[in-house]
Amino acid sequence: MSKQMLDKALADKRKAGEKIFVPYIMAGDGGLNNLEERLNFLQESGAAAVELGVPFSDPVADGPTIQESGQRSIANGTTLSGIFETLQTFREKRTLPIVFMTYLNPIYAYGIEKFAKSCEEAGVSGVIIPDLPMEEEDLLANLLKQHAVAFIRLAALTSPKERLRDIAARTEGFLYAVSVKGTTGARSAHEKEVHSYLQELKEFTSLPVLAGFGVSNAEQARKLGSACDGVIVGSKIVDLLHHGKTEAIKELIQGASDKKNISVN
């Protein structure tokens, strides 16, 4: 059911003609005891799904804001086992799809088969693993499929067209389009080539294409969303949540879906 929950949530947004907004938060930043409350808040604010970070000491794709949130989470004693246990406590009440963003090392340390099974048991709908290349993904892909967990692939601006086509053909749930050359973190602007890149990815898959990395305000989200199906926002959400600025998060999510005043530079 997990993957089906994600597929349905995204399909419902597209059917309604709405842009998809997926916020990222770090599990355990502020404590795991507030995870249910934060997920409920994000759903009520208009999130279609939530990307839930698993803290790791060496996050190669994360910028400073998310690295700091991971360090705070680790200092709180957050573990992968603890995240699974917490999600299980309110699984039956939850209707918001959860997508893990994690690295291979925590999965390997936890146990690959055990990880896939635990995802299903905790109701995790999908998994994103930025340091697992396409050539090595058989290590995990079949196990995730057996447990009805979507394996969401990342597409990079720097990849050649044929590789992007292969990645798009393999992805499940949605295609994560990395919209900058670098790590996560707020950017003042995106390169002009990003829009043609996003439109090209749309030709390679019938699944939603969501742009992530570097989206820090509603205007950027609307501009990127005009070329694809929606956006993933991480560092800005993490920063606002850390400082208790929940109203600003609501405004960002709702503003990103506003179809007015979209201008693509």
Q: Which CATH number belongs to the domain containing residue 190 in this structure?
A: 3.20.20.70
Q: How confident is the model over 56-85, as a mean pLDDT?
A: 92
> In this predicted model, what pLDDT tens digit does every residue of 120-150 receive, in sequence order?
999 999 999 999 999 999 989 999 999 999 9
The answer to whether position 41 is within a domain reads yes
The answer to whether position 261 is within a domain reads no
The answer to whether position 157 is within a domain reads yes
* pLDDT at residue 263, as a whole number: 33
* pLDDT at residue 258, as a whole number: 64
First to last CA, the chain: 41
pLDDT band, very low/low/confident/very high, at 181 (cuts 50, 70, 90): low
Phi-psi region of 152 (alpha: psi -120 to 50; beta: other; left: phi over 0): beta
* pLDDT at residue 191, as a whole number: 54
Rounded distance between C-alpha atoms, residue 123 and residue 116, angstroms? 11
> In this predicted model, what pLDDT tens digit does every residue of 71-127 receive, in sequence order?
999 999 999 999 999 999 999 999 999 999 999 999 999 999 999 999 999 999 999
* Residues with active-site annotation: 51, 62
The answer to whether position 265 is within a domain reads no
Cβ distance 185 to 238 under 8 Å?
no
Structural domain range at position 145: 2-256
pLDDT band, very low/low/confident/very high, at 59 (cuts 50, 70, 90): confident
From the CB of residue 253, how many other CB atoms can be counted at a distance below 10 Å? 23
Q: How many domains does the chain have?
A: 1
264 pLDDT more than 90: no
